Structure 1
Amino acid sequence: MSKKKKDWKTEKERLLRLDGEERRKEYRRQDFIPLEKIPTWREENRANRKEEGKEVPGRGGLSDKVSLYKGDITVLEVDAIVNAGEEAGKSQKQQEGDFLQVP
C-alpha cells in the first residue's frame, strides 16, 4: 500500500474516533450549520400548513429523512450531499447551491 493511501486511512480512523466536540475543534471554520438546523420536508410542510390552519397527516417515511438546502454548502455539518440533477431549463450556474440532503 502506498504511503499516501495509508496516511488517508489513518486520518479517517482518527477522525472517526473523535466525539462531536473534539471533531468541531478540527474544522477550518466555526460558522458551520448542523443538520438539526436544516428543516426536513415534513417540518417545512408542517410550518406551511400551520399558517393555513391545516393538520399535517402521516408519520415517518422519506419526508422525515430529506431536507432541501439552498446556500453555501461548505458550512454544512453533514456526512453527505446529493445533487438531484439539473432541472429542465435551469443552467448550471443557476442550479449551483440547490442540493438535496439526505441525513
Structure 2
Amino acid sequence: QERLLKMTLEERRKEYARDYVPLNTIPPWKEEMKGKSQSDEEDTQEASQVKKSLSEKVSLYRGDITLLEIDAIVNA
C-alpha cells in the first residue's frame, strides 16, 4: 500500500493488468443534459442553483464499473 501511495499516476497506470476508464473522460451530468430541453423556468432560483451544483458533481456511467480508475467500489 505504501509503495502505491508513493507512485505517480503514470507509474500506477503501468501497473494495471487491463484497460481502464479515467474519470476525466466521463462528462458530468450538466454536459449530458445540454442538448436536451429542460423546463428550468418553472423552478425557483434556489432550486435551480441546487440542481446546477449537483449536475456539475454527478456523472452517469453505463458500463463495467470495475474498469473505472478509482480506488474503491462500495456497495451500500
Question: Are 1:24 and 2:13 matched, yes or no?
Answer: yes
Aligned-pair CA distance for 1:60: 5.9
Q: What is the number of equivalent residue pairs in this alignment? A: 66
Q: Could you say which structure has the higher strand fraction?
A: 1
Question: Are 1:43 and 2:31 matched, yes or no?
Answer: yes
Percent of aligned pairs with the same amino acid = 58
Q: Could you say which structure has the higher helix fraction?
A: 2
4+ runs deviating over 3 angstroms: 57-60, 79-83
The alignment's TM-score, normalised by the length of structure 1, stands at: 0.51
Query: What RMSD in Å do the two structures reach over aligned CA positions?
Result: 2.6
The alignment's TM-score, normalised by the length of structure 2, stands at: 0.66
Change (3 A) 1:65 1:72: same
Which structure's relative contact order is higher, taking Cα pairs within 8 Å and 6+ residues apart? 2
